[in-house]
Amino acid sequence: MDQELQLIERARNGERAAFDSLVDIYKGKAFALAYNFTGNAEDAKDVLQEAFVKAYLNIGKFRGGSAFYTWFYRILVNQCKDALRKKQARMKVLVDTHEPVDEDDESPVEAVESGPGPGEALLNKEIREKVDKAINMLPENQKMTFILRHMHGMKLAEIAGVIRCSESTAKVHLFRATKNLQKALSPYIKTEGGGQYGIV
C-alpha cells in the first residue's frame, strides 16, 4: 500500500514510469469492470484505455481525499456510461435504417469456466444469457451499482464514492436493481415460500 502511495505521488509529479506501474496494478480488475458493463472485450479495451488516458491527464488533480482506485473507477464508470450511450445511439440509427447488426465479430476473449459449483450446475446456458440480458437492461446507475456490489464485491460506501452519490442512494439503486432483476427473471425463478432476495 505504501508502495502504491509512492507510485501515486511520483505519478502526480509527472513520472511516467510510476503511472505505467499503476496501469499494471489496476488494468486487470478495471478491464473486468469495463467488460461487465460494456459486454464485450473490444469496447472494454477502448473504454479502459480512454480512462487511463484521462487519469494520466488529470492525475495532478488527484488530491488523495479518496482511495486512488475509487478515483480511477469513477473515471472508468463515466467512460463506460459514455460508451454505452454512444453505442445505444448507434444502435438506434442502425435500427432506424434497418441495417443488419453484425454480431459475428470474433471476440478477443476466451470464455473462462470457473468450474461447476453446486448452484451453478443447476443453471443452463439459457438462464445465463437471460441473466446477462436482464443486467444489461437495468438503468445505468442500478446496473453499475449492481455490478460493483455483486461482481466486484465493493462496499456501499465505496460504490457511493465511485458513482458520486450518498450511501443511502447507492443502497436504493442496489435494491431497485435487485427487484428489477427478480422481476425480469421471474419466469426462470423457482419460488420457494415467496421469499425475496434482500440486499446484502
Partner 1 sequence: MASFKDIMDMIAKKKAPEPQKGFWLKFDRELGERLDAIDSRKSSRSYGFAEGLGATFSSFFQPKPVLAAATFIVAVNLILFSLASRGPGLVSVALIAKDDLAEEFVLTNELASGENIVDF
Binding residues for partner 1, rule: CB under 8 A, are 16, 19-20, 23, 27, 31-33, 35-36, 41, 45, 48-49, 52-53, 56-57, 107-112, 114, 117, 119-120, 122-123, 127-128, 131, 135, 150-151, 153, 181-182, 185, 188-190, 192, 196-197
Nearer to partner 1 by Cβ, of 82 and 188: the residue is: 188
Nearer to partner 1 by Cβ, of 59 and 160: the residue is: 59
Whether 148 contacts 164, CB under 8 Å: no
Whether 144 contacts 80, CB under 8 Å: yes
CB of residue 175 to partner 1, shortest distance in Å: 14
In the chain, the amino acid numbered 180 is N
All residues at 6 or more sequence positions from 124 whose CB lies less than 8 Å from its CB, including other chains: none
Nearer to partner 1 by Cβ, of 162 and 177: the residue is: 177
Whether 50 contacts 79, CB under 8 Å: yes
Nearer to partner 1 by Cβ, of 1 and 112: the residue is: 112
- Joined together, the cell numbers standing for residue 42 give 473490444
CB of residue 99 to partner 1, shortest distance in Å: 28
CB of residue 132 to partner 1, shortest distance in Å: 9
Whether 125 contacts 119, CB under 8 Å: no
- Joined together, the cell numbers standing for residue 81 give 456510461
> How far is CA 86 from each of CA 74, 82, 90, 162, rounded to the nearest angstrom?
18, 6, 6, 21
The candidate with the shortest Cα–Cα distance to 185, out of 117, 126, 97, 114, is 126
CB of residue 46 to partner 1, shortest distance in Å: 9
Nearer to partner 1 by Cβ, of 53 and 93: the residue is: 53
